Structure 1
Amino acid sequence: MTDSPAAPVRLRPEIAALPAYRQGKQADGSAHKLSSNENPFGPLPGVLEAVAAASGINRYPDATAGRLRGALATRFGVDEDRVHAAAGSVAILAQLISAAAGPGDEVLYAWRSFEAYPNLVTVAGATSVTVPLTADGRHDLPAMAAAVTERTRVVIVCTPNNPTGPTVRRDDFDAFLAALPHDLLVLLDEAYAEFVTDPDAVNGLGATGYLDHPQVVVLRTFSKAYGLAGLRIGYAVGDASILSAARSTAIPLSVTAQGEAAALASLEAEPILRGRVAELVERRDRLAGGLRDLGWRVPEAQGNFVWLATGPETARTAEAFEEAGLIVRPFVGEGVRISVGEEESVEKVLRVAASIVQNLPEDHPVRTLA
């Protein structure tokens, strides 16, 4: 339930009871904000100039984001009508869920995963069906396939999974698709795809991608690796008729001219992007390895974050990090997600994590060393 006062009009009861999306806590002063999976680097070269040049804020933007869609279509070798842009990939998730599912329908996804999923399904009027992750934080795809019913209209697969970190493997995803009805919409949420180093991971837009599977729509974003979280721009690639339906449910003109210009400029800075991603991946692997050396059980980390399944100690763990000037993302009763931030934050995280793990019970499932 929310703490909002009673509304003076009749609202949908499920919406009135729905908690608002909880953003990662902001950081004050000198604290490191490691709570929102943001990119610690500033905009790529050319981005600020492109945003400044698109300064006609008294005019509406191109509702189709045509220049960006054209650039992405060329990059992925598809027709332009197979690319859709919106104010972040989460907006496209909302559009596609609304296009495919309504009252009496089901949307299936693993849990815990991206915390916006339940809200998006409820707003659409559909019902969430969740399947627990495996013990190592992965999607249990066979169990998800078994949970599909005649009412299932959408399946969401988040890879790497936010907040736990592991990817879905390509062979497993192929077997999963083979087990599903051919007319069931599958949303492959790849918001962190640029950070993936596992060669066996599914890659919806790679050389062996899934664009020949009409039921699969691949979602990506410029918020993470490209560092444009504040401009809200993401995209989807998939079947033209499905994306047309998504556009029909969208809020018009939600992609600003500044966001489109920034995304286009970011695509032009690909070599620098790859260098930054490589640096963040090295930092991520060093952070995850350091935590494991301290005795933490850390799932495979393939995004720009690591996960500690602290369970009942979650709130206390987050407080300990905050007291040390590190703002992390707690999921009460479940765990803590720590984004990969500035270089100087790594040793601080490890130092605080060392003191925390020593005070956990020896049989706590997050510990690897007794």
Structure 2
Amino acid sequence: MTSPVRLRPEIAALPPYRQGKQAAADAFKLSSNENPFEPLPGVVEALRGAVAVNRYPDASASALRAALAEKWGVTTDEVHVGAGSVSLLNQFVLAAAAPGDEVVYAWRSFEAYPGIVTVSGATSVPVPLRTDGSHDLDAMAAAVTDRTRLVIVCSPNNPTGTTVSTHDFETFMAAVPNDLLVVLDEAYAEFVTADDAVRGGSLTERHPNLVVLRTFSKAYGLAALRVGYAIGASSVLDAARATAIPLSVTEQGQAAALASLELEGELLDRVARLATLRDQVRQALLDQGWSVPDAQGNFVWLATGDDTARAAEVFERHGIVVRAFAPEGLRITIGEPASVDGLLRAARELRGDTSS
């Protein structure tokens, strides 16, 4: 549709972010990487206490920042809270990159990355994943030029689920300029069970150019409340804070996040159960003959290639709504245990085995 006003041509051509498809009442929505568990009673109680919707929230999220600083052993100035980790990433890209600059990231990765870079006016430099769905950090380091202002590393990678090892990440950090901003997107870190996976929270002191992103949307089950946070050098976080839309984190979101930290043990027990189910689903898919990357998030990846659109229809016919990234593959969230039978039936049909 032709716009009645003059727009930036690259923005007019940019497709908006598309949310995972909603599910019918009799289907399972496994398209958005949501946590299937209902909020804990303590979290619900905290939300009930945060009802002063006629008042603005604490703009600095000071109580939540203090709690997170204590959790990670940093100062409150080294914690920044925003409306989800994707909102924070947008702030860091705006703070670091402008027209003529470049942002390097692996591809395929989180589908919001290209749009965020385009909106900033910078240029995307996507680096293909390895054949096993993992980051090619050597190639990413080689893609860095004097125009590069930011590199995004996603571990576990959305949508393939693979992680970056601590050794490989440290090698990468040594290979790139120490004044280049590196953002480690760890939205799914709580689901990781691989011993060698990088844990960014322990590395920011050693690497002042590193910022780590986390979120309460996934493991903590607060997707609707939009609360994420960043850990890094205060001067870098201040630059992001300068680009932020004021008052974008609600008091309800902060209250629920604080309650979730107090109930973290119980919540992470749920995460462990989801990780166990994830491993079981992946093994069942491997047994069917699928090649499934080492899944370390709360989802699995099926490389269905040019058959992706039809594959998504097969899953939907079995009551499973998945996220299709044509022409590459399907991302399937680990949701309710009751969804597994339909998931595996659909996958088996796609493999050509309809015997059960």
Q: TM-score, normalised on structure 2?
A: 0.98
Q: Is the 8 A contact 2:204 2:233 kept in 1?
A: no
- Give the corresponding residue for 2:298: 304
Specify which of 85, 92, 101 is matched with residue 89 of structure 1. Answer: 85
Superposition map of 1:1-370 within 5 A: 5-206=1-202, 209-358=203-352
CA deviation after TM superposition for structure 1 residue 257, in Å = 0.1
CA distance in structure 2 between the partners assigned to 1:90 and 1:271 by the alignment: 25
CA deviation after TM superposition for structure 1 residue 357, in Å = 1.1
Deviation track 1:30-64 (CA, whole Å, cap 9, x = no partner) reads 21000000000011231111111110001110100
Q: Is the 8 A contact 1:45 1:269 kept in 2?
A: no
CA distance in structure 2 between the partners assigned to 1:155 and 1:221 by the alignment: 19
Q: Is the 8 A contact 2:102 2:147 kept in 1?
A: yes
CA distance in structure 1 between the partners assigned to 2:163 and 2:41 by the alignment: 30
Instruction: Indicate the SS of the match to 2:151.
Output: strand
4+ runs deviating over 6 angstroms:
none
Q: Which has the larger displacement, 268-277 or 241-250?
A: 268-277
Q: TM-score, normalised on structure 1?
A: 0.95
Deviation track 1:304-356 (CA, whole Å, cap 9, x = no partner) reads 00000100000000000011110000001000000000001112111111111
Instruction: Indicate the SS of the match to 1:46.
Output: helix
CA deviation after TM superposition for structure 1 residue 79, in Å = 0.6
User: Between the two proteins, what is the percent identity of the paired residues?
Assistant: 65
Instruction: Indicate the SS of the match to 1:205.
Output: helix
Deviation track 1:269-321 (CA, whole Å, cap 9, x = no partner) reads 11211210110001000000000000100000000000001000000000000
CA distance in structure 2 between the partners assigned to 1:274 and 1:305 by the alignment: 17
Instruction: Indicate the SS of the match to 1:93.
Output: helix
CA distance in structure 1 between the partners assigned to 2:351 and 2:93 by the alignment: 40
CA distance in structure 2 between the partners assigned to 1:250 and 1:211 by the alignment: 24
CA distance in structure 2 between the partners assigned to 1:145 and 1:270 by the alignment: 36
CA distance in structure 2 between the partners assigned to 1:240 and 1:298 by the alignment: 39
Q: Is the 8 A contact 2:104 2:152 kept in 1?
A: yes
Deviation track 1:155-190 (CA, whole Å, cap 9, x = no partner) reads 000000000011000000000000000100000000
CA deviation after TM superposition for structure 1 residue 243, in Å = 0.4
Whichever residue aligns with residue 216 of structure 2, its letter is F
Q: Is the 8 A contact 2:204 2:231 kept in 1?
A: no
CA distance in structure 2 between the partners assigned to 1:22 and 1:116 by the alignment: 9
Structure 1, unpaired ranges of 5+? 360-370
Whichever residue aligns with residue 222 of structure 1, its letter is F
Deviation track 1:89-125 (CA, whole Å, cap 9, x = no partner) reads 0000000000000100000000000000000000000
Structure 2, unpaired ranges of 5+? none
Whichever residue aligns with residue 224 of structure 2, its letter is G
